[in-house]
Structure 1
Amino acid sequence: MSTLRELVQQHSTLTEDDIEHLHRLAADWQLLADLSFADLLLWVSTTDAYLEPAYLCVAHIRPTTGPTAYLHDQVGRLLSVEASAHLVAAATAGRIWREGDPEWIDDIPARHEAIPVRNGEKVVAVLGRDTNLAATRAPSQLELAYLRSADDLCRMVAAGSFPPRQPVLADDTSMPRAGDGVIRVAPDGRVDYASPNAQSAYRRLGFSGDLQGMELGPLTSDLADDPLEGAEANERISAALAGASPDRIEVEARSAVILLRALPLRPDGENIGALVLACEVTEVRRRDRALLTKDATIREIHHRVKNNLQTVAALLRLQSRRVTSQEAKSALQESVRRVSSIALVHETLSLSLDETVDFDSIVSKISSMVGEVAGTETVVHLRKEGIFGVLPSPVATPLAMVVTELLQNALEHAYLPGQSGAVTLMAQRDRDTLRVEVADSGQGLPDGFSLQASTRLGLQIVRTLVTSELGGSIDLRPRHGGGTEAVVVVPLTSRGAKTSGHAEVEVS
């Protein structure tokens, strides 16, 4: 299914500013649907050369407070000229259309309304408000307050003052909804109506009385544990009463947290007060804080592990300076590099907000570290091609060891003393796999070489890590044109990263 933007761009001549206005409306219209107890359909006039003038539905939302009028999604539905007469009337007159009789939709009686969507001086779309009449009954006080607020907001849509002209929030998961708690505030700041859920939210803050008739801004300020937070909440409610659309704010008192959002109510330019949505988010914030604490603890653990590994590397480095055996000295130096490569990953994880690392920065540090192993008589240039990207820590830690061993093996064994050459590290990544290749143009593999039969510790470590830890495959083979290439293919899915003992090892 195409997105709202794609449908509008393909079938209409609306400008980018008009499309942004429709996006702002779609970001806020769940509130309008819930207050209306009705489905909302966004219609735009088509300009397709192969279609007769008509209206196309580019978005559809159902209410969470009442039954839907449509069993099937209406996005992409095209209304003919005759069927869209009510939409044309609303767009042409620039006013809300309510004159029609109820109609039957899929055996459901429904009432249609058409609300012009104004952006600046022009009507850019029409908002259909279709109400299921099958369960019609005498409305309660709450329902009357909801419908009154919905009508006010619809008149503001027709006048172009709703939704507010501000960026759509990327994270609206905690945006207060109508069912969370609705408070209508008169122009003097006193509460006209508060839903039961709104009353409950303020009781959690410590107010045991009735909100009706109370000055909401000063009351909220007095209840807040933090005076600055309370003063800010009071200012935002006052700003909504003055016609502004302030950002949402959280208020904490007595270990409870409520999220407030204040909207001005100015239908036809008349100031009739504000609509305040109150959502209790105590448990959500408790979990957020617990996650932040755990994240900080995990980062501290990575920092300490990094420090411990660096201490181990330093001790091994000191020991290598004391031994006289060249073979022992080389083994200790290799151990230093292996420990250091793991420490690099933990150092990066200690700075990350999640359990992922930018592996390209790890590779740069590894390349500098292993570049020191080349003999003084051999000049070898390291080159990197491609991008590793961001990797999860279960992949990054063993892969750092694998890259270290393969680069070290190529630098030590590809070229004879006095020779010069290059070693290339290449990365190729798609959505599901990462392919890593270490290639050189040196002397190549010995005759009869077999990776599975190799007794070199470094290659045994690589094979074990790739197949058991990463669930991937490794192929160490002669390179076309001379030299050697090691190809490692690692799955990036969680299933592949945890696979153990089922990977195939390719050996040429």
Structure 2
Amino acid sequence: MAERQTVSTTSGEAQDHLTRLTREWQVLSDLAFADLLLLVPAIQDGQVGWTCIAQNRPHTAQTVHVHDQIGLFREEPYPAPVTPADLAPFARDQSVVLRRVIPVRFQGQIIAIILMERFARVQIHPSLLEDAYAMAVRALEDMIAEGTFPFAEGDLPSAHVTNPRVGDGVILLDSTGQVIYASPNAVSAYRRLAPSTPLIDRPFSAIDPGYHTVKQAVESRLPVRGEISQNGRMILRRIVPFLQATEITGAMVLIRDVTEMRRHQAELHVRDVTISEIHHRVKNNLQTVASLLRLQIRRTQSEEVKDALVESVRRISSIAYVHEFLSGTSGDTVQFDDIANHIVTMLGQGLVGKHQEIRLYTTGEPGLLNAQQATPLALILSELIQNGIEHAFPNGQAGEVRVSFDRYQDRLVMQVSDTGVGLSNSEPLSTHANLGLQICESLAVTELGGSLHYTPGQPGAIFTVDMPLAAIGEPSSIGGQFPSPKNHA
């Protein structure tokens, strides 16, 4: 295996600069119809060259590199040019690949290069679009070589916001704010705002209803993103100023019609609010039922009836808490970790006597569950903990009740174990005299599509619920247990 040594020429700030560059360079790749390779200086077997640390393919053209280039060593081009420069083309797949190298400068030092490669196209005269794109490419190349692109501040790309792309629509402005080019998609977007509005050779301030956004980008020398709406249409724009030293030489406005997306988001918001309100009303109704049962508890003289009603109130309270949690979240999913911790705390405080030493623990994280799973699982958890506290430790015996969760890719396993006396017989849970255990098994099978098993502990009892997970997105863990314990005394 060849020995490889990478020459470290980048500080933490310079590495951040390269990271920002790879977040922003899709626009350069699309405008240039080219693959981009980010190369840093390296030495391999005593040979000075470059190692590829990032790669980008265009959305607007065929890729030159079908296979990933990251990690590959190149002996050329070396040394880095001071300004963008063309390299010798080469042949591939009966086509000619044009090559260009762009120095990446940061704080006056060249810390990397961008190798731009694209297939040559046979044509007599470039189209208006290609001429406009080439002008924008040269402006971005010069900014990269000067160290002013990518921007360190402004409305930068993030994991939560998708910026418009070149294919969505692009408008180019000169240094005076005049429109010198508008792509067909950009023209269509603005004509939906104002049907008779021409774009080319007009001041952008006369076209755009939110021109203050463009003015802000020009004055701050930073990219700015904003939305405009008119005639029922919504347009997202990102204005990227072109800089030469500190002077504005023009600007690029990336445009995307987001009307349908915003309407869909509004519909989802209304749906979430409606679902939240339903859960809130269900919770209130359950609490009303629980209050009525508490009134009945105070009126009845039978201790047996009182005990049965108290257990019913606890069951209703567990279900109500799930709906309370769902009413405060968007959608139909809920973090069951918080529900489990609440149930453990509530039962520990409500059932463990002042002079009884029973400690309750939870370990693992069940993660996200939908409402159809969370409600029966909460009730099972409440029943099993209550069963352990009330029956596993007779005569004030001390001990522990432990709840553990193991989440896998397609299923969730919950165990409730205690260090008490265990079950007195080996009858199936469905025929056991304990109503709570019968409820648990019924819910595990019919509502969760899983199973409930009892195994003797040493000492005590172990109840295991094994249930499949519904398709609600990525699980919290794949094929493993969450080790972080959460203790509740």
Please tell me the TM-score bracket, short chain as reference. 0.7 to 0.9
Match of 1:365 among 338, 342, 347: 342
Amino acid at match of 1:319: Q
* 2:431 and 2:438 in contact (8 A); partners too: no
CA distance in 1, matches of 2:89, 2:349: 82
Amino acid at match of 1:171: A
CA distance in 1, matches of 2:398, 2:235: 65
The equivalent residue for 2:74 is: 79
* 1:378 and 1:420 in contact (8 A); partners too: no
CA distance in 1, matches of 2:351, 2:429: 23
The equivalent residue for 2:176 is: 188
Query: CA offsets per residue over residues 430-449 of structure 1, 9 Å max, x none?
Result: 44354433232322211344
Match of 1:42 among 20, 30, 38: 38
Amino acid at match of 1:160: G
* 1:114 and 1:127 in contact (8 A); partners too: yes
Matches within 5 A, 1:198-347: 198-217=186-205, 219-221=207-209, 230=210, 234-242=211-219, 244-267=221-244, 269-347=246-324
1:79 Cα deviation from its structure 2 partner: 1.2
The equivalent residue for 2:452 is: 474
1:128 Cα deviation from its structure 2 partner: 0.9
Of residues 135-144 and 11-20 in structure 1, the stretch that sits farther from structure 2 once superposed is 11-20
Amino acid at match of 1:312: V
Decide whether aligned partners of structure 1 residues 69 and 493 sit closer, same or farther in structure 2, where only a CA change above 3 A counts: same
CA distance in 2, matches of 1:365, 1:172: 31
Percent of aligned pairs sharing the same letter? 39
* 2:24 and 2:157 in contact (8 A); partners too: no
The equivalent residue for 1:103 is: 90
Of residues 386-395 and 186-195 in structure 1, the stretch that sits farther from structure 2 once superposed is 386-395
Decide whether aligned partners of structure 1 residues 36 and 375 sit closer, same or farther in structure 2, where only a CA change above 3 A counts: closer
CA distance in 1, matches of 2:343, 2:117: 63
Provide the secondary structure at the position in 2 that maps to 1:352. coil
1:408 Cα deviation from its structure 2 partner: 0.9
- TM-score (structure 2 length as normaliser): 0.88
- TM-score (structure 1 length as normaliser): 0.85
The equivalent residue for 1:352 is: 329
Q: Which one has a larger percent helix, Structure 1 or Structure 2?
A: 1
Provide the secondary structure at the position in 2 that maps to 1:242. helix
Amino acid at match of 1:367: V
What RMSD, in angstroms, separates the aligned Cα atoms of the two structures?
2.7
- Structure 2: where are the runs of 5+ without partners? 474-489
CA distance in 1, matches of 2:85, 2:326: 59
Match of 1:175 among 144, 154, 163: 163
Amino acid at match of 2:78: V
1:416 Cα deviation from its structure 2 partner: 2.0
Matches within 5 A, 1:491-502: 491-492=468-469, 494=471
Decide whether aligned partners of structure 1 residues 456 and 363 sit closer, same or farther in structure 2, where only a CA change above 3 A counts: same
1:249 Cα deviation from its structure 2 partner: 0.7
Of residues 386-395 and 137-146 in structure 1, the stretch that sits farther from structure 2 once superposed is 386-395
Amino acid at match of 2:112: A
Provide the secondary structure at the position in 2 that maps to 1:364. helix
Match of 2:50 among 49, 55, 65: 55
The equivalent residue for 1:70 is: 65
Provide the secondary structure at the position in 2 that maps to 1:271. strand
Are residue 413 (structure 1) and residue 391 (structure 2) matched?
yes
Q: Which one has a larger percent strand, Structure 1 or Structure 2?
A: 2
CA distance in 2, matches of 1:46, 1:375: 66
* 1:34 and 1:65 in contact (8 A); partners too: yes
CA distance in 2, matches of 1:103, 1:210: 43
* 1:70 and 1:105 in contact (8 A); partners too: no
